Amino acid sequence: MRHHLILRVITKLLVGTIFLFALYVQFHGDYSPGGGFQAGVIMAAGFIIYGLVFTLKRVKQVFPPWLVHKLIALGVLIYAGTGIYSLLAGYAYLDYAALAPHHPEHGQHYGILIVELGVGITVTAVMVAVYYAFASRAPILSDEDW
Amino acid sequence: MATEQLHHTALTLVDHLPILEVLVPFVAAPLIVVLGSRKLAWPIAFVASAISFVIACLLLLQVLDGSYISYHIGGWAPPLGIEYRVDAANAFVLFLVSGISTVILPYARASLEAEIPRRSTTLLYALYLLCLTGLLGVVITGDAFNVFVFLEISSLSTYVLIAQGSHRDKRALTAAYDYLVMGTIGATFFVIGIGFLYMATGTLNMADLAERIAVQSDSRTIRAAFAFIVVGVGLKVAIYPLHLWLPNAYTFAPSAITAFLAGTATKVAIYVLLRFMFSVFQPGFVAQVPTLEVIILPFALLAMFGASLTAIFQRDLKRMLAYSSIAQIGYMLLGIAFFSQAGLMATMIQLFNHGITKAALFMGVGAFVLRAGGSFYHHLNGLGKSMPWTSAAMVIAGMSLIGIPGTAGFISKWLLVQAALDAGWWPIAILIVASSLLAVIYVWRMIETLYLTESKAELQARQAPMSMLIPLWIMALACIYFGLDSDLTLSASRTAAEGLLAGSTGME
Amino acid sequence: MDSGTLEFVIGHLNYWLFILLMMTGLYIVVAKGNLVKKIVGLNIFQTSVFMLYISIGKVTGGTAPIFPLDMKVDPDVVYSNPLPHVLILTAIVVGIATTSLGLALIIRIREEYHTIEEDQIAEIENAVLKSEQWASERATGEHS
């Protein structure tokens, strides 16, 4: 891997930009096209390109598999938790008005932000988990068997 | 809904019951993953499933009089927002699904421990809950596209659950793969159908769809949608020629998972078929296109005989029961084909009774697999002596499968024959009795193997553990209870059938 | 071809493409014996549905359904229907889940069967079935 100098330098430059872009898509998602799904995939692409260039082992040190698995569930819990909060506040499930009872419009705004954060976390983690699952599968058969 | 929410009246716990029914198992699943504790996984799953069951009971009691409950997700009123709508038909199915899940979970603990490596069990319970969430969601939602989403949640988790059987037999993998391919084609057909409906009507809410289809039922788009939806759901139901995924999936899945799926998954699919045929497309529309006589009726009869005959010649009890499931689905379809209130009532009650019967039978098979090492008939020789309790429960459930008076199966067969006679189709009534005789043959073969053959001396099977016997007996006694005291099931299925036949007026 | 037919063909272009893709996908699923190719076919099949949904959301002359920041919506502007896109976002996610699950199953199948060709797998399974049948015949034969 040492000799792929250009690849390594470019990747190092790119990964940060990719993450920044993911965060932009994530948090600007309620004004313009974007949101958790897209941002999650972009974010995961950052990790995957790092893994492709610097080997799976390195990216697993940065983003350990156990954390990936917890984040998958955590994102779902954030989403569902928003809904449960509005249940407890006496509103319908996922009625974002519960988040700001005196300014329901603001409530909608906060609600979509939190929910999309949950989506973003889960999608990032799922995409990375899929990559880990396939990439870390050691080939048991030799190439001739294909 | 933005502005008028300033004068908001707080909803109470009772108002939230429809969403909590789905939400409780849905939240419990990621909770299991986040906690990541093998000790906590089972208790969380059981408590979540039990809460769902209690809620389903409460919902059923509320709607038994023929009323309905509507719950607006996010406070957005239908038809714009997603609506959960509970009436007698789906409350009855919710009751069945959550009930079976709750009884099977205590059983699953010992059974899965023996069949699955310990490191997989935590995630397995999370998947089990996701599957339950999907099934409950399909039933409770009043939004056509939402049905697809929940259907896929349950299907995707089902594929993984079936594949877990690969620790015992590698064929579970190909069974899961085949089911994945066929299930996805089915679900995609279903989405195409929904897409056509949306093109023709511009709405996805079921009640709203029903209203708009009523005024333009001649539209070719809507007819195409009907065809796609019936075929798509038919794959999930395992209507006879579309059943190929079922025998392998049921045979190679872990025993507890088979019991759960056999009791719930196809039943939920039947419910979706009923809901779309009668509530979304109107009964008038269904009468107009000759689907019932030309497609449903002959295939139902084919299933009753073809699958029963195949079941007779099986050497593996689990596979035999899988084929018998396909045959029993034939009875449910037959009830639909009569296109009368009596017929639909028979379908609803057969759906329920067959659910508990098959769950009991597959649970018994799981106990045999645990103690005798397999479910082939030669494994079961003489087990009537060494595993008397399990065998006795199997006999009770087997009698319910045949439809012997005093068991739940009898009630549904009786209603079905009555519906056939009401419709004046007496040859069909004779065929129903004749196919029950085929059931006698395959159930007798099981009883014969259990009681009338010598067991091998070197293999002395022990009694199944209590944690498996008690759920098994709860199911077996339910087969008898619902056969003797059928008030609840009869009134629920009657209200359900009335609601379905009333079409869109039943949804108002 | 007269102009009416031509109009019919071109006016329904998205539907023709939908049918073409759908049939291509289904054909691959049915005809190919390689498990990975079947998943590819399944993907094409699903994509055809995505295309159907997205194309019916288009309103002639309509622009992207994004309201201006100040929410002063010009009533003369025609917007395309965003709802089918949202539905399809869900369906795409389902498609990804199905694909990765299918591929994961294929990897496991390859580890167990050492092949991903359907006919070879069927051969192996038939052999297992035969040996099971033989075992069961021998076991029951001892008792009769």
- Whether residue A144 lies inside any domain: the answer is no
Tally of domains in chain C: 2
Cα-based distances in Å from C77 to B6, B360, C72: 31, 62, 11
Give phi and psi for B72, each to the nearest 5. Answer: -100, 115
d(CA B242, CA B470): 35
To the nearest 10°, report the CA torsion of A105, A111, A114, A120.
Answer: -100
pLDDT above 80 for B104: yes
Q: Are C24 and C93 part of one and the same domain?
A: yes
Percentage of chain B beyond pLDDT 70 is 96
Quick one: pLDDT at residue C82? 87
Q: Touching check for A91 and chain B: CB below 8 Å?
A: yes
Q: Using one digit for the tens of pLDDT, what is the confidence trace for B234-262?
A: 999 999 889 999 999 999 999 999 999 99
Residue B340 to residue B420: CA distance in whole angstroms: 10
| Dihedrals phi, psi of A99, to nearest 5 degrees | -75, -20
The answer to whether residue A18 sits within a structural domain is: yes
Q: Which domain holds residue C30?
A: 3-113
Interface of A with C (CB under 8 A): 31-33, 37, 130, 133-134, 137, 140-141, 145
Nearest Cα residue to B307 out of B230, B363, B238: B238
Share of chain B above pLDDT 90, in %: 70
Closest CA to A75 of A36, A128, A106: A36
Q: Which of B82, B185, B455 to mutate to test the interface with C (most CBs of C within 10 A)?
A: B185
Residue A62 inside a domain? The answer is: yes
Task: Give chain A's domain count.
Answer: 1
Residue A76 belongs to domain spanning: 5-137
- Chain C residues whose beta carbon lies within 8 Å of the beta carbon of residue B160: 101
Residue A142 inside a domain? The answer is no
Domain boundaries, chain B: 14-507
Tell me whether B8 touches chain A (CB under 8 Å).
yes
Question: CA C95 to CA C89: how far, in whole Å?
Answer: 10
pLDDT tens digits for B255-306?
Answer: 999 999 999 999 999 999 999 998 888 887 887 777 777 888 999 999 999 9
- Residue-level pLDDT at C144: 44
Q: Do B150 and B236 form a contact (C-beta atoms < 8 A)?
A: no
Helix (H) or strand (E) holding B72: strand B69-72
CA-CA distance, B488 to B490, in Å (whole number)?
6
Please report, for the domain that includes residue C36, its CATH number: 1.10.287
> pLDDT averaged over chain C?
88
Tell me whether C96 touches chain B (CB under 8 Å).
Answer: no
Question: C52 and C70: one domain?
Answer: yes
Q: Is the CB of B184 less than 8 angstroms away from the CB of C46?
A: yes
Tens digits of per-residue pLDDT, B450-472? 998 877 655 667 888 999 999 99
Count the helix, strand and coil residues of chain B and give each as a percent rounded to the nearest 5.
Answer: 80, 5, 15
Question: Do both C84 and C107 map to the same domain?
Answer: yes
H or E segment to which residue B86 belongs: strand B83-86
In a domain, A97, yes or no: yes
Rounded to the nearest integer, the mean pLDDT of chain B is 90
pLDDT over 50 at B74, yes or no? yes
- CA dist., res. B276 & res. B206, Å (int): 8
| Closest-approach residue (CA) in chain B for A112 | B74
Residues of chain C in Cβ contact (below 8 Å) with chain A: 64, 66, 69, 89, 93, 100, 103-104, 107, 110-111, 114
> What's the pLDDT band for C142 if we cut at 50, 70, 90?
low
CB of C87 within 8 A of CB of B190? no
Q: What is the 3-state secondary structure (H, E, C) of B383-452?
A: HHHHCHHHHHHHHHHHHHHHCCCCCHHHHHHHHHHHHHHHCCCHHHHHHHHHHHHHHHHHHHHHHHHHHC
Q: For the segment A47-96, what is each residue's pLDDT rounded down to a tens digit?
A: 999 999 988 999 999 999 999 999 999 999 999 999 999 998 888 888 88
B378/C136 CB distance under 8 A = yes
pLDDT at B286: 80
Residue C63 and residue C128 in one domain:
no
User: What ipTM describes this predicted complex?
Assistant: 0.92
Contact C66 A32 (CB under 8 A): yes
Q: Chain A: residue nearest B30 by CA?
A: A73
* Sign, Cα dihedral of C58, C61, C63, C67: negative
Q: Which one of C34, C88, C98, C103 would you mutate to disrupt binding with B, by most B Cβ within 10 Å of its Cβ?
A: C98
Nearest to B185 among C29, C53, C113 (CB): C29
The reply to whether A113 touches chain B by the CB within 8 Å rule is no
**What is the arithmetic mean of pLDDT over B484-488?**
89
Contacts of A32 (CB under 8 A, 6+ apart): C66
Closest approach of chain B CAs to the CA of C3, in angstroms?
A: 24
Exposure b/e, B300-318, CB count within 10 A at least 16 = b: bbbbbbbbbebbeebbbbb
Residues in chain A within 8 Å Cβ distance of B19: 83, 87, 92-93
User: How far is residue C30's CA from residue C15's CA, in Å, rounded to a whole number?
Assistant: 22
Q: Are residue C104 and residue C50 in the same domain, yes or no?
A: yes
| DSSP run (H or E) holding B84 | strand B83-86
